[in-house]
Chains A and B, each alone.
Chain A
Amino acid sequence: MNWGLARLRNKVLQLRLGGRSLDPLARENLHALEGLRLDSPAREHNFVVMDLETTGLDPTRDRVVSVGAFRLVQGRVRLGEVFSELCNPGRDIPVESIKVHAIVPDMIKDARPAWEVFEDFLAFIGTDILVAHYAAFDIYILNLAMKARTGFGLQNLVLDTVEMCRALLLRPDPYGVYGDFRKCGLDQLAEEYGLEVPERHTALGDAMTTALIFQRFLQRMEQDGEGSLRDLMRIGSMSF
C-alpha cells in the first residue's frame, strides 16, 4: 500500500469516525500519519521491527503464540526497547509448528491470552512505522486485534523487508520467471550479510535478524542517494 492510498484511507476513516469519542490508544493511532514529511530522511523516523510466531500459516484459523519486536531510533536497534512475550493461543499447538518455534504447551500455560498481550503491544508500537518480513501475514493478525479493540485497522505505515529485498537486491522480474525471490528468505539474507543469527525462530530472534537486515537496506538506500521517507515508501511498502 503506497503513501497516497494510506493517506486517503486514513482521511476517509477520520471522516467516518467524525465526532465519535475514542480512547487514547485509538485516537493516537488514528493520527499516526500526521506530521510525516515525505522528503524527510528515512533514518529520522522511528521503526518497530516485529515478528510473530503462530500455530500455523493460515491467518484466518491460526493463533499467535509469541510476539517479538525491537525499536529502531536513528537507524540503530535499541536493545532496551524490546517487546517479547509468549501468549496463550487458546487452542492446541500443532506438532508441526512446535517443530519450528519450539514453544510447547507447558511454556504457555501461564501466559496471558493473545488479546491482552496485543493490548500492550499496540501501545508499544504507537505511531511508529512497522517493519516485518512477509509483513502481510503479521499485519493481518495485528489488524484483527486492532479492529477488535478499536473498530478500525492499524493506520501506521508498514514496510516489508521482502519487498525491499526484491527492489534492492534482485534483478527486475515482472513476470516472476527467475525464481530469485527465494533469495529473499530470512535465512538466505542472514547468510548473505554474514549475520550471526541469534535464536532463530523465536519471535524476538527473528525480529532481531529482520532489524539487522532492515538496517543494511536503509544504509544501502542512503548510499544510492535514496534516503528519504518517500524513497523508502516507494521501495518497501507492503503489497497486498
Chain B
Amino acid sequence: MGDFPLPRIKDFIHTVVPFDTLREEDLTRAVSRMEIAYFPRGEVIVRSGDAPAQFLHIIKSGSVKVTLTDDAGNEMLIDLRGEGDCFGAVSLLQGVKALFDVTAREDVIAFLLPGEYFRRLVETYPTFKRHFSFSLARNIQASRRANQAPGSLLTGGQSLGLDAILGRSLVSELMTTSVLACAPVTPVKAAARRMTKQRVGSIIVEDQNGLPLGIITDTDLRVRVLAGGLDADTPVTEVMSQPMRTIHTKAYAFEAMLEMIRHRVHHLGVTEGERLVGVISDHDLRVVTGAAPVGVVRDVDKISSVDELELIHQRLDPVLEMLLRLGGSAEYMLELATEFNDSLITKILELSELEMEHEGLGRAPVPYAWLALGSAGRREQALRTCQMNGLIFANLPEDRWRKTQGWFLTLAKRAVERLTQAGFPTCPDGLMANQPGWCLSEAGWQDTFLRLIEEKDICVMPHSGPLFDFRCVHAEMDFCEPLRQIIHRAQEGNRQFLARLGRLAPGERPPLGFLREFVVDKAGQYQARLDLKLSGLQPVVRVARVLAMEQGLKSTSTLDRLAELARRGILNERFAGDLREAFSFITLLRIARHLESRAAGREHDSQLDPASLSAVQRKMLKESFAVISQLQEFVEQRYRAQMIA
C-alpha cells in the first residue's frame, strides 16, 4: 500500500495551512497518523486548565469558538475557527495546560494529529514553526529577562504566542505586591517621600477599615501638585484619583488592559475579595505586550511641536492591531481611535493658535469649535480616511464678520495642513474647514443646514448626509446642541426631506449571491472583489442616520443610534442587536484589512478578496449581509408608506 488509499482526505489536508508546504511523503505519513473525531454541537472539546493537549485538531467541517470565562462567569470570545483551521497548537508545543475553552458551535468533524508527530513537523519545517509561532513566546520571555520591551515583535505577524501570553498571564502574576497605603489625612509631602523611598509609582489612600478610597500616582504628583502649585502639606485626598478602579487577581492580563482603556487610567487596584493585594499598571502590561494602549491617547497630549505629528499615528496602529488580535470589540477600537483623533485635533488647534499668537495675529476673536463631520463625526474614523470637517464660531456683528472669518480660515488652513501631515489625506470634494463655505458663524451654519433640508435636487442629497453627523470637538462653547435642535424643528416642518433621504438610504444591495457562489466554487478563479464600505457599512450608516434624525436623537455614532432606536421600539431589539453585530464585524474586518495592507506597504482600499477570508469569516460576512439586506427592505417599506401618507 504505497499511497494513501483515500485521496480526498489527503487533498483536504493539503489545503490546510501550513500542511500545504509538506513534501508528498511527509503529507502521506501525517495523514496516516491522523484520527477522525466527531464532536456534537455544544460539546466542550477542550476545557481551559485541562492537561496539555495530545493532538493538534484540524477542523474538517463545522466550527468552534475559543473562549475564556472570567470569575464572574462572563464568557469572552477569543476566536472562531472553521473549516481548515487548527486548534490546540500552543498547549501541544509548550506542554502547558489548555489556555482556553474550545466549544463546538456546530457539529464538528476534526482530524486529530498526534502531538509527537506534530512536534516533529514543527522541528523539520520552518513553515510550521513560523505558522505556530512558538518562538514568539520564547522571544518575549527572553526579552523580558533582558529587560527590553519587545515592541517590534508585536507587528511581526505572529499572533498566537502573544495571545497566549496575554491570555494566560493572570493579573496576580504581573501585579506589584509591594503596595503602599496611607491614611486620608496624610500630607502629599509624606506620601511622595514614601513613594520615593520604596521606589514605587503609586500609593493607595485607604480609610480606617482598609478599604481603598483612591490612588495617587507619580503623574498626579507632577500634574496636580507641582504644576498646580499646591502646597506640599495638602492632604492626599485632595489630589488623589478616585474612585480607584479595581480588578480581581484571577482576571487575565488583557482584561486589565481593556479595563484601563475603558476608564482611561494607568493603574488598577488588584483585589482578592474585598482586600487590596496589589496594584497593576499599564507599565506592567507593557512589559508583556510591548505597546501601551492606555498611554497611546496621552502620548498625543505630550506633543510640544508640530514636527512630532508625523510620527504620531504610528503609535495607534500597533495598539489597534493588538486589540484586534485579542478579540477586542469594534466598539472599543472605534472609541480608542476617536479619543486619539480628538486629542490630536485638539493638540493641533492649540499649537496653531499659539503659533498665530506668536506671529502677532492675535488670539481667537470669538469662541469657536471644530466640527467633526462624516465618519469622524460619528466617532467611527478608525482608519485614516480623508478629512471631512468644518469650523463654527460665535455670532458677531456684520461689520466684524469678514475679518473674523479670515482669522479662523488661517487657523483652519494650518489645522488641515497638519492633519494631512499626521496622515489624514485631504478630501477631494473640498469639504474641509479651510474652505470659506465650511468655516462659518453659528448663523451661517444654520443657513447652510436649512438650505440642505429644502434642497430638492436628488443628486446633491446623498452628499449632504455625512454633514448631518456633525459633532463639536475642542469646543469653547456648546454650538452643536442648539444647531441640532434647529435642524430637528426644520425637518419636522418638512416631512418630504426625511422621506427623500430615507428612500436614498438603502443604497447598494449587499452581494449575497456573490458570496454564496464563492463558497461553492472554492477552487475557481475569482477576479471580483467586494467593497466592504459601499455595500456593507454605508447602508447601515445611512439608515441609522435617517432614523436617528427622524427621532431627533443626539448620538451620532451608528452603534449608539441603533441601540437607541431599539430602546424606542423603532427597530426590533433582536434585529438591532444583529445589525450592531454585523456592523461591528464588517468594521473589524475593514480595520484588519487596512492594517494588513499598511504593513505590506500597499495603498488601502476597502476592496476585499473573499478568497483571503477563512471559512468562518466568510460565513459571518454572509450572515452580516443578510441582516443588512433585511434592514434595507425595512427602510424601503417605511419610507414608501410615508410618501403615500
Contact = CB atoms under 8 A, between A and B. Distances in A.
Interface of A: 68, 73, 75-80, 82, 84, 193-196, 198-199, 204-205, 208, 211-212, 215-216, 219, 223
A199 B34 contact: no
9 closest A-B pairs by beta carbon, nearest first, are: A76-B35, A77-B36, A80-B32, A198-B8, A84-B5, A215-B38, A76-B37, A79-B34, A78-B35
B1 A84 contact: yes
Contact of B6 (A194, A205, A212): A205
Contacts of A77: 35-37
Given A194-B61, A198-B6, A198-B9, A79 B33 contact: yes
Given A77-B36, A82-B5, A196-B61, 15 more contacts: A68-B5, A75-B37, A76-B36, A77-B37, A80-B33, A82-B32, A84-B5, A194-B61, A199-B6, A199-B7, A212-B36, A215-B37, A215-B38, A216-B38, A219-B40
Nearest to A205: B6
A76 B112 contact: yes
19 contacts: A68-B5, A73-B35, A76-B37, A78-B35, A79-B111, A82-B1, A82-B5, A82-B6, A82-B32, A84-B5, A194-B61, A195-B109, A196-B61, A199-B7, A199-B8, A211-B36, A212-B38, A219-B40, A223-B40
B41 to A, nearest CB: 11
B202 to A, nearest CB: 53
B34 A212 contact: no
Contacts of A205: 6
Interface string B179-223: 000000000000000000000000000000000000000000000
Contact of B109 (A73, A84, A204, A212): A212
Contacts of B107: 193-194
Contacts, number: 58
B83 to A, nearest CB: 11
B61 to A, nearest CB: 7
A109 B61 CA distance: 38
B31 interface: yes
Contacts of B109: 195, 212
Nearest to B111: A79
Interface residues of B, number: 21
B6 A208 contact: yes
Contacts of B8: 198-199
Nearest to A74: B35
User: Which of A79, A196, A212, A219 gathers most chain B CB within 10 Å?
Assistant: A79
Interface string B15-41: 000000000000000011111111010
B82 to A, nearest CB: 14
B31 A79 contact: yes
B263 to A, nearest CB: 45
Interface in B314-335: none
B4 to A, nearest CB: 8
Contact of B32 (A79, A195, A199, A211): A79
Interface in B401-450: none
Contacts of A223: 40
Contacts of B5: 68, 82, 84, 204
Given A84-B1, A193-B107, A194-B107, A79 B6 contact: yes
A193 B8 CA distance: 19
B1 A79 contact: no
Contact of B35 (A79, A204, A216): A79
Contacts of B111: 79
Interface in B61-79: 61
A43 B40 CA distance: 16
Interface string B110-150: 01100000000000000000000000000000000000000
A194 B38 CA distance: 12
Nearest to A73: B35
A211 B9 CA distance: 15
Nearest to B112: A76
B614 to A, nearest CB: 18
A92 to B, nearest CB: 26
A75 B36 CA distance: 9
User: Which of A75, A77, A84, A194 gathers most chain B CB within 10 Å?
Assistant: A77
Interface in B500-543: none
A211 to B, nearest CB: 8
B644 to A, nearest CB: 46
User: Which of B4, B7, B31, B36 gathers most chain A CB within 10 Å?
Assistant: B36
A75 to B, nearest CB: 7
A128 to B, nearest CB: 16
Nearest to A70: B36
A77 B32 CA distance: 11
B106 to A, nearest CB: 9
A196 B12 CA distance: 12
B311 to A, nearest CB: 52
Nearest to A196: B61
A75 B33 CA distance: 15
A42 B109 CA distance: 20
Given A79-B6, A204-B5, A219 B33 contact: no
A191 to B, nearest CB: 14
A223 B42 CA distance: 12
A193 B41 CA distance: 12
A226 to B, nearest CB: 15
A234 B4 CA distance: 36
B44 to A, nearest CB: 14
Contacts of A84: 1, 5
Contacts of A219: 38, 40
A79 B8 CA distance: 13
A194 B31 CA distance: 22
Contacts of A195: 109
